[in-house]
Amino acid sequence: MTDKKTSDNTSAENGGAAKTSADEGPIARRHFLLGAGTAVAAGLAPAAPVAAQTPQALPSAPSATEHAFFAAAADTIIPADELSPSGSECGVATFIDRQLAGAYGTGARLYRDGPFPKGKPELGYQLALTPREFFRAGVAAANAWTRKTYGKDFDRLAEKDREAALKAMEEGKAPFPGFTSTMFFNALLQISMEGFFADPIYGGNRHLASWKMIGYPGLPATYREEIRTYFGKKYDKPPHSIADFS
């Protein structure tokens, strides 16, 4: 994983937060997020929002066990600190629930007729599973491994053990049936970043927390007048989401 603040200079530019021992941990206090944030927020195209429905109301929604896993993973990858609330407080688990319950989760835009030979890593996802099936299998495998290793499901582990467990998955050291734990970790990291940086209408980025953190202005596509006004100055207007223009 890369760092949230890719260098000491970047850290200084984002408020000069001091580097602590926690920054050196297996899951490095979400240091990877700042580098990816603006690109994800600007280019993300999630499935259609389902804001009017709760995940539990949808027939293919993640179970309570799966939701608990996603919430614990989000809080481990994106812990609460001086920059933002935790991942679950920002709605990351809700975002994941909704994505997996919708068209993305059923693989509506994926070619799924096979064949499905084992491909090289650079070829990307090559499994016959839908994203919904893949994450369900991954959560089950992760919980089975943490029960064997730590005696508890992932969401019941202490923070340091959750960090160690995710690090083991990232490095492929947790044996998963059917696919590698690295593949699962990478998919979990990707969808967690999407949930943290997507427009709040999709369930994550609650109260625009991540956009405020990185200074992303939000939905408006043109800032001609603002550029004239704020050239060489800090842009201090609040960000705007899709809901602000609906």
pLDDT at residue number 61: 75
Assign 82 a pLDDT band (cuts: 50, 70, 90): very high
Supply the pLDDT for residue 45: 40
Dist CA 108 CA 94 (whole Å): 20
Which residue has better confidence, 90 or 6?
Answer: 90
Q: Are 73 and 188 in contact (CB under 8 A)?
A: yes
Q: Is the peptide bond before 115 cis (omega within 30 degrees of 0)?
A: yes
Q: pLDDT exceeding 90 applies to what percent of the chain?
A: 51
Tell me if 22 sits within 8 A of 51, measured CB to CB.
Answer: no
Q: Residues 170, 13: contact at Cβ < 8 Å?
A: no
Q: Residue 240 — φ and ψ, nearest 5°?
A: -125, 140
Buried b / exposed e over 193-224, threshold 16 CB at 10 Å, is bbbbbbbbbbbbbbebbbbebbebebeeeeee
φ and ψ at 96, to 5 degrees? -60, -45
Of 177, 183, 182, 189, the closest CA to residue 141 belongs to 177
Mean pLDDT of 31-53: 42
Determine what percent of the chain is predicted with pLDDT higher than 70: 74
Over residues 128-183, the pLDDT tens digits come to: 899 999 999 999 999 999 999 999 999 999 999 999 999 999 999 999 998 999 99
Angle formed by the axes of helices 159-170 and 131-150, to 10°? 120
CB 202 within 8 A of CB 193: no
Spatial separation of the C-alpha atoms in residues 105 and 131, rounded to whole Å = 5
Tokens of 7: 């260098």
